[in-house]
Structure 1
């Protein structure tokens, strides 16, 4: 009986080792589904592609949605998964709630999911919920970044005056975190009032019109915070068109070439840069660790830092790595 038992255990060990060897030799296919066509996600893809090449992973990239939102993202995502050969998906969900069912369906089909830049639910994948199935969220601490922007703007305007937030979408985790962090940060400065929060739905022209309207209502506006690429570009152009460059301080999020050039010209006063290439690389790196040996991602969260561009450091050689590429 002992010999039989030992034989069974030995065979199990050999089989396990064989399966591990197969996993080690397999070329895994990962899929990246971006949120929208913009420099942030293009840069994220480049970081992911570089890491995939380094680690021997095949990276499949879904078509870039031309507009932000579940209506644009979900059909492309479903077509990507329908290929039937994807081992792991990392994606930027364009809604905290609307993407839960489709991503749960992906997970239930045996494809592990990592969310990047944005998350589903409240982003806490450790607690019991209907959205705790992703392996992790990998992205910026948007709330902390919003606080940093608030404190910097407060100094720019002498800790007094009226400011506004030009946001993009009320049900996207990343931009909501930035808005909440900014408003919380401004609570430290009783002389500052947040007089408006507007949502442009990723439409630059709409953002420009909204900021212009707030200027009409509050001609003494002291500062504007544009929370993403489209809202920021619309916001600073509204200030320029009103002839208020320098008088109204402009803080923006995302280091596109357009915003960096505006900073150099004095049309923007601060640009907070995320690290999208690092986010993409980390998704591939941690995804492969999970696929090869089941390594869990600590706390189901990885949070790269950010870099703040100002007119004092924008020409620094060390800062150039944080500018987003096209």
Structure 2
């Protein structure tokens, strides 16, 4: 009898422990967390959209009612962001997600946040501090797929212009080198001109126009920006429209869809990286397993005029959406809207992303 009682007592104890564990999980999933978004720069369309989609994503879908989101914008200096972060740390939030003004200079302040028990996730412009997670687009994959597509469009032979982006910007060098690394596998593709598009329509159009004046023939243009500036330069010069690589701004998608004979592929650095960082923080706060690696790469969809008709051999898992007006390109929406708009776990509309 004593043995029976002992077994029963053990079973009751185990059941209580399991119920307590399940109860704790249920409580965690109902808990509301305070999360700060620290942003060092608001002067372009991407950053503004990034903040809008963050706000939308905590008010609908699985995060609805789970997050008290506070956005802190500071002037574009490292010291201003450090000062802001110190104030945020004193407020003792559950987590901080950061679009950083420097990869290294914020590290001591971020370490202070981690030591205070605050989860820190950097996104877009990420930091090197080991205690913080880093969530960003795969900047090796993107230019490789764009250049591979260009080589396929040209049948491995032709003359191209290559955009060098913004002088001195590390990402510009990474994108240019990514293009060239793939193109060197095609000895019959020749880079006949470079320009600095500066991630702006004016410099892109002017740079391509200048090269067109010097070169009677070009077969493709690899931009780091809008692509639509390159197409306009071709049109103004009375030249045939050639294949163009660009990034997934709404104006690029619309121009490519509406221009006769245009062939385009657009790489994406989705503005919803902010939403992904917030969701990741909530899951960690809920006690779900933490990522095995502090550096997480987001593999955004590509958009192309030929959609899924072409497949990357370098990255066979790359998703390539077909550019379609009204589906993923909107003539009545701001030209700087970044596509795709919504992650797969919450629906963010074009109007919400545009703030209209």
When the two structures are superposed, what TM-score results if normalisation uses the length of structure 1?
0.72
Task: Measure, in 2, the Cα distance between the counterparts of 1:240 and 1:75.
Answer: 45
Asked if residue 144 in structure 1 is aligned to residue 144 in structure 2, the reply is no
Is 2:178 aligned against 1:181? yes
Q: Counterpart in 2 of 1:51?
A: 57
Q: Structure 1 residues 207, 24: CA separation in 2 closer, same or farther (over 3 Å shift)?
A: same
State the shift of 1:133 in Å.
Answer: 2.5
Distance 2:58 2:80 in 1: 22
Give, in whole Å, the separation in 2 of the partners of 1:239 and 1:76: 43
Q: Which residue of 2 aligns with 1:61?
A: 71
Contact 1:119 1:173 in 2 (8 A): no
The question of whether the paired residues in 2 share the 8 Å contact of 1:103 and 1:113 is answered with no
- Give deviations 1:151-202, integer Å, cap 9, x for gaps: 2112323322221222323554544433222111212211102234433444
CA radius of gyration, larger in: 2
Aligned partner of 1:126 in structure 2 is none
Q: Secondary structure at the match of 2:219?
A: strand
Retained in 2: the 8 A contact 1:143–1:182?
A: no
Counting only pairs closer than 5 Å after superposition, residues 73-88 of structure 1 correspond to structure 2 as 74=78, 77-78=81-82, 80-84=84-88, 85=91, 86-88=93-95
**How many residues are paired up?**
287
Cross-structure match for 1:305: 300
Unpaired segments of 5 or more residues in structure 2?
1-20, 308-321, 330-338, 342-349
Deviation at 1:283, TM superposition (A): 0.3
Q: Is the 8 A contact 1:28 1:58 kept in 2?
A: yes
Specify whether residues 79 and 144 from structure 1 end up closer, same or farther in structure 2 by C-alpha distance, changes over 3 A only: same
Matched residue, 1:100: 104
1:235 aligned partner: 230
CA distance in 1, matches of 2:232, 2:77: 29
SS at structure 1 position matched to 2:155: coil
**Match in the other structure for 1:13:** none
The ranges of structure 1 where at least 4 consecutive aligned residues each deviate by more than 6 angstroms after the TM superposition are: 19-24
Which residues of structure 1 form unaligned runs of 5+?
1-16, 66-71, 121-130
How far is 1:293 from its partner?
Answer: 4.0
Q: What's the Cα RMSD here?
A: 3.6
Aligned residue among 252, 257, 264 for 1:259: 252
Cα distance per residue 1:187-236 (max 9 Å; x no partner): 2211102234433444432232222222233332222112134xx34433
Aligned to 1:6: none
List per-residue Cα deviations over 1:40-98 (Å, max 9, x = no partner).
33443344223333431122234487xxxxxx35365346425433543333345xxx4
Match of 1:89 among 82, 86, 96: 96
